[in-house]
Amino acid sequence: MLRLSPVPIDVGQERQFYDGWYAQFQTASDDALLCNLETFRRDISDPRSPGFERRLLHQTALEHLLAFPISGCNVLDYCCGTGDWGLMLGCLGANVTLLDLSPVAIQVALRRAKLSGVEGRVRGVAADASNLACFRDSEFDLIFGSAAVHHTVKYPGAVEELVRVLRPGGRLILAETYGNNRLLNFVRRLRWRISGLADDAGEDVLLSDSDLARLLQHFRTSRVMPLNFLAMTKRLFRGRFANPVVLQTLRSLEAADRTLLRICPPLRRYCGEVVVVAEK
């Protein structure tokens, strides 16, 4: 029988999985690795790009990131992967620390920093987010995480470490999957199983309101902005957004969401993605 429930994994398994995953970028061309605000915006606005599927989530997070001056800010790109967000902020003048469990991810992200001309403002740290002894208390003005916290909340101490390294008055901005919708969670897990996604990918936690409450209790103010209810069916069209019929369908679903979520706010908690903005 198909088993949908997640299997607990440890940090070593997750590191090994992501080292293997990010190894594919080690042979990428210099052009493909360049990263700045322009390449970032192109990725989310071009229906042929992988970033297009998450454009509402990423546009919303970007607006909140750029709502305050970025230049000179000490930013932690939390679980940075290959560093798109941190490098883009580095190009805007931030002093960026790229943090990821995977040394291979950090290696790729630092090569990208050099290619993008921001190596002087960017450092990389390969470490487990549940033990950030490498950082001082209050070291960062801004912590940003994309598809990040749902990987780390399962590790004891990770929430406390995130809070510790953010200065009082500092901001936390997250772009995350949202996991209150049981039907959507069932479909997600079914899809992962069918596609053979390994348990070690660490997708076992689908960030719910209770996980967020555990994090946000440490913050003075917080705003949770759910996105995409009907439009989560976009997952069925992955890689096909350049098709005009698919694109029009997606736009219609997004328009329907805008109306539905305005007239029925309780539905918001069943959306599939969320942007969180909090101040410590």
Instruction: Point out which residues bind ligand SAM (CB under 6 A).
Output: 11, 14, 18, 79-81, 100-102, 105, 128-130, 146-148, 151-152, 155, 202
Nearest to 207 by CA among 157, 155, 273: 273
Residue 125 or 225: the one with the smaller Cβ distance to ligand SAM is 125
Nearest alpha carbon to residue 166 among 277, 15, 262 = 277
CB of 255 vs ligand SAM, minimal distance in Å: 27
Closer to ligand SAM at the Cβ: 95 or 146?
146
Nearest residue (beta carbon) to ligand SAM: 81
- Cβ closest to ligand SAM, residue 42 vs residue 220: 42
Q: Whose structure tokens read 């440890």?
A: 10
Q: Which is nearer to ligand SAM, 87 or 261 (CB)?
A: 87
Nearer to ligand SAM, 43 or 100 (CB): 100
Closer CB to ligand SAM, residue 39 or residue 130?
130
Q: Could you tell me the smallest distance in angstroms from the CB atom of residue 132 to ligand SAM?
A: 9
Length of the chain: 280
User: CB of residue 198 vs ligand SAM: minimum separation in angstroms?
Assistant: 13
| Least distance from ligand SAM to the Cβ atom of residue 150, Å | 8
Smallest distance from the beta carbon of 18 to ligand SAM, in angstroms?
4
Closest CB 80 distance from ligand SAM, rounded Å? 5
201 or 267: CB nearest ligand SAM: 201
Q: What is the 3 state secondary structure string of the chain?
A: CCCCCCCCCCHHHHHHHHHHHHHHHHHCCHHHHCCCHHHHHHHHHCCCCHHHHHHHHHHHHHHHHCCCCCCCCEEEEECCCCCHHHHHHHHCCCEEEEEECCHHHHHHHHHHHHHCCCHHHEEEEECCCCCCCCCCCCCEEEEEEECCHHHHCCCCCHHHHHHHHEEEEEEEEEEEECCCCHHHHHHHHHHHHHHCCCHHHCCCCCCCHHHHHHHHCCCCEEEEEEECCHHHHHHHHCCCCCCHHHHHHHHHHHHHHHHHHHHCHHHHHHCCEEEEEEEC
Smallest distance, Å, CB 262 to ligand SAM?
29
Question: Pseudo-torsion of CA 123, 126, 129, 135, nearest 10°?
Answer: -50
